[in-house]
Amino acid sequence: MLDTLIDNFFNPVVALRYWPTILQGMVVTLELGSLVVVCGLATGLGLALLRALQFRPVSWLIIGFSDLFRTLPVLVTLILIYFALPFIGLELGGFLSSFLALTFTLAAFAEETFWAGILAIPKGQWEAARSTGLTYADTLLRVILPQTFRLVIPTLTNRTIAITKMTAIASVVSVEEILANATTAQGYSANTTPLTMAAIAYLIIFLPLVIFSRKLERRRTWSH
């Protein structure tokens, strides 16, 4: 029984043959995940700052964007972008479609997280800053935003990890990331060892981020 388990999930011959394929998938996953994190967080922060300006039409548009992409499953968003947009003349590749679907989702959650952080700052902070002669924008950027970051970083880190792990859905649109390459290798080898290798690859990428997130959460708890 143990020999069968090892042969099917930890076959060294299969692992040696397909580790370059899994490594290539890791590179694609890292590229996609890094772009999503940078662009998603930056977009979410920008939207939260625009919403803080309290211009009602813009605020309603931002709320609609956030509610839409927090409601839709990422896979549904990806399918709509990749398969529906060609009908209106926009043909996007699998990588770009995956990037947009994940970035929109992360931006929606990040916007709500940043906005909640801004609202959590006591009103007296605003009033004290304005009384010194700072403009509304200066107060927001110099006084409120630094405090907001300290409040939301642990929560935002957890959410970011959860969404970037979804890079695996890119396999649905033929992006050669970890899962897609592992599935292909499994088919060629008639062995599930490539899937074990994929699981190890995901651990290598995301476990350090999870540990980092836990440390942030502990630091926040100790600071209170």
Query: DSSP per residue over 141-198, as a string?
Result: IIIIHHHHHHHHHHHHHHHHHHHHGGGGGGGGGT--SHHHHHHHHHHHHTSSHHHHHH
Task: Please calculate the CA angle 223-154-112 and round it to the nearest 5 degrees.
Answer: 120
How many whole angstroms separate alpha carbon 139 and alpha carbon 69? 30
Closest CA to 114 of 56, 33, 51, 34: 51
pLDDT tens digits, 146-187: 888 888 887 888 888 888 888 889 988 889 899 999 999 998
- The rounded distance, in Å, linking the Cα atoms of 30 and 157 is 16
Contacts of 204 (CB under 8 A, 6+ apart): 26
Asked if residues 173 and 98 have their Cβ atoms less than 8 Å apart, the reply is: yes
- Residue whose pair of structure tokens reads 């902070």 in the numeric block: 125
> Domains in the chain and their CATH numbers?
30-223 (1.10.3720.10)
Question: Are residues 107 and 69 in contact, defined by beta-carbon separation less than 8 angstroms?
Answer: yes
Model confidence, pTM: 0.88
pLDDT tens digits in sequence order for the chain, 224 residues long: 777 777 778 888 899 999 999 999 999 999 999 999 999 999 999 999 999 888 889 999 999 999 999 999 999 999 999 999 988 888 888 999 999 999 999 999 999 999 998 888 888 878 787 788 778 788 888 888 888 888 888 788 888 888 888 888 998 888 989 999 999 999 888 899 999 999 999 999 888 888 887 777 676 655 55
135 half-sphere exposure, CB direction, 13 A CA radius: 4
Asked if 76 and 204 touch (Cβ cutoff 8 Å), the reply is no
CA gap 195, 187 in Å, rounded: 11
Q: Which two tokens stand for residue 135?
A: 């403009």
Distance in angstroms between the alpha carbons of the first and the last residue of the chain:
52
Tokens 């090892």 appear where?
Answer: 6
Q: Please tell me the predicted confidence (pLDDT) of residue 222.
A: 56
CA angle 53, 55, 61 (to 5 degrees): 105
